[in-house]
Structure 1
Amino acid sequence: MLLGWSQLRTLKEVKKRWGHGQANMFAVVQFKKLWGDMASLPHVDCRFVVVPRSRSHQRKDQAQLDGCLSDGSAAYEESVGEWK
């Protein structure tokens, strides 16, 4: 069975942090499939789930710590674990 997927195109700015206080902005086109396409299928169980927005970021270098201090993810990490 072939389904025709409707797609939305979104142009958004994505920040890439290189560490040592350097960051670049890139324009990215994001393609999204419409929720209505999946929700209209009778055999697919679709629903919304409420989840917390707090999350952490994976860092590859110590120089990337400045970003997590400014966006609040360091405070979230400290609340769920301990620094060693």
Structure 2
Amino acid sequence: MEDKKEQYRVSVRVEPELRAAFYAKAAEEGRTATSVIIDFINQYLGGKTSISELTELRQRVERIEATQRGELIA
């Protein structure tokens, strides 16, 4: 049987526009708001690398590879 870790809910008050923009950006990245917030907390505490950092690095590598392919074709 799998052990379940105890979890707590954290509530934060923000303006509606900020909430909407946050949820939209998370969805655009294919993530949940919860995963983004957990990544932020881990990063803030000096923990593991966040998914968003890895996503950004992957996108940068893809752009570099696309540029290199373009130069090889040209």
- Higher fraction of helix: 2
- Higher fraction of strand: 1
* Relative contact order higher in (CA < 8 Å, ≥ 6 apart): 1
Scaled by the length of structure 2, what TM-score is found?
0.24
Q: For the pair shown, which has the larger CA radius of gyration, 1 or 2?
A: 1
